[in-house]
Amino acid sequence: MLRDEKSLGAVDLEDGSGGGGGKKTSRWPGFVHFVFILSVVTCALFYAPRFLAPSFTSGAGIDFLPPSLSRAAGAQGQGDHGGVSNVVKEDALVLDNEVGSPCASMPSHGICCDRTDFNTDVCFMAGDVRTDAASLSLLLLPPSHAAPNATAVSEERVRPYTRKWERHLMAGIHEVRLRAATPDESASDQHRCDVVHDAPVLVMTAGGYTGNLFHAFNDAFLPAWLTVQHLRRRVVLAVLAYNPWWAGTFGDLVSRLSDHPVVDLLHDKRTHCFPGAIVGTRFHGILAVHPPRTRDNRTLADFHSFLAEAYTDDAVVKTPATNTASRRPRLGIVSRKGTRVIENEAAVAQLASSVGFDVSILETANGAPLSSEFAAISALDVLAGVHGADLTKLLFLRPGRAALLQVAPLGVPPIARGCYAAACGMMEVHYEQYDVVASESSLRRRYAADDVVLADPEKAKQKGGWEITARVYLGGQNVSLDLERFGDTLRKLHSRALRLPVAA
Ligand X SMILES: *[C@@H]1O[C@H](CO)[C@@H](O)[C@H](O)[C@H]1NC(C)=O
Binding of ligand X by 442 (CB under 6 A): yes
Q: For ligand X, how many residues bind (rule: CB under 6 A)?
A: 12
CB of 40 to ligand X, least distance (A): 13
Query: What is the nearest approach in angstroms of ligand X to the Cβ of residue 23?
Result: 16
Complex with ligand X: residue 378 or 478, whichever CB lies closer: 478
CA triplet 433, 303, 241: central angle to 5 degrees?
100
For the bound state, the minimum distance from the C-beta of residue 344 to ligand X, rounded and expressed in Å, comes to 11
C-alpha dihedral, 66 to 67 to 69 to 73, nearest 10°: 150
Give the shortest CB-303-to-ligand X separation in angstroms. 13
**Residues 199, 235: contact at Cβ < 8 Å?**
yes
The verdict on 356 binding ligand X (CB under 6 A) reads: no
Q: In terms of CB distance, is 92 or 341 closer to ligand X?
A: 341
Closest to ligand X by CB, 277 vs 348, is 348
Considering only 102, 183, 356, 487, the residue that binds ligand X (CB under 6 A) is: 183
Output the smallest distance, CB 316 to ligand X, in A: 28
Hey, how many other C-beta atoms are within 10 angstroms of the C-beta on 499?
A: 7
Contact of 178 with 135, CB cutoff 8 Å: no
Binding pattern for the stretch 240-279 against ligand X, x by CB under 6 A and - elsewhere = ----------------------------------------
- Choose the stretch contacting ligand X; rule: CB under 6 A; options: 173-181, 291-299, 391-399, 400-408: 291-299
Q: What is the footprint of ligand X within residues 73-112 (CB under 6 A)?
A: 74
Q: How many Cβ atoms are within 10 Å of 85's Cβ, its own excluded?
A: 8
Specify the residue, 271 or 299, whose C-beta has the smaller distance to ligand X.
Answer: 299
Cα 90 to Cα 97: distance, rounded to the nearest angstrom = 12
* Only segment of 352-360, 401-409, 452-460, 471-479 that touches ligand X (CB under 6 A): 471-479
When asked if residue 48 is in the footprint of ligand X (CB under 6 A), the reply is: no
Nearest approach, Cβ of residue 78 and ligand X (Å): 10
Give CA angle at 202 (201, 208), nearest 5°: 150
Nearest approach, Cβ of 442 to ligand X (angstroms)? 4
Q: How many CA atoms lie within 13 A of 338 on its CB side?
A: 17
Judged by CB, which is closer to ligand X: 37, or 53?
Answer: 37
Burial of 1 (0-12, 13-18, 19+ CB in 10 A): exposed
Nearer CB in complex with ligand X: 218/477:
477
Q: Are 482 and 493 in contact (CB under 8 A)?
A: no
Q: From CA 347, how far away is CA 350, in angstroms rounded?
A: 5
Compare residues 88 and 187 and give the one whose CB is closer to ligand X: 187
Half-sphere exposure of 418 (CA within 13 A, CB side): 15
The reply to whether 172 sits near ligand X by the rule CB under 6 A is no
Residue with Cβ nearer ligand X (330 or 398) = 398
| Gyration radius (Cα) of the chain, Å | 24
Contacts of 332 (CB under 8 A, 6+ apart): 359, 360, 361, 362, 376, 377, 380, 382, 383, 384
222: left (phi over 0), alpha (psi -120 to 50) or beta: alpha
Which residues in the 304-343 window bind ligand X by CB under 6 A? 338, 341
| 458-483 burial code (b ≥16 CB/10 A, e <16) | eebbeebeeebbbebbbbbbbbbbee
- Output 237 or 436, the one with its CB closest to ligand X: 436
To the nearest whole angstrom, how small is the minimum distance from the Cβ of residue 183 to ligand X? 5
Task: Figure out which of the listed residues 414, 476, 482, 500 binds ligand X, where binding follows CB under 6 A.
Answer: 476
Q: Which is nearer to ligand X, 275 or 411 (CB)?
A: 411
Pick from 343, 402, 390: which is nearest to 363 by CA? 390
* CA dist., res. 373 & res. 56, Å (int): 37
Do 248 and 226 meet the contact criterion of CB atoms below 8 Å apart? no
Minimal distance in Å, beta carbon 338 to ligand X?
A: 6
Planar angle of CA 434, 435, 438, nearest 5 degrees: 140
Nearer CB in complex with ligand X: 241/341: 341
Of the candidate spans 23-31, 61-69, 84-92, 476-484, the one that interacts with ligand X by CB under 6 A turns out to be: 476-484
Q: Is 291 in the site for ligand X (CB under 6 A)?
A: yes
- Which position among 57, 116, 271, 297 is part of the footprint of ligand X (CB under 6 A)? 297
Chain residues in the site for ligand X (CB under 6 A): 74, 149, 183, 291, 297, 299, 338, 341, 442, 476-478
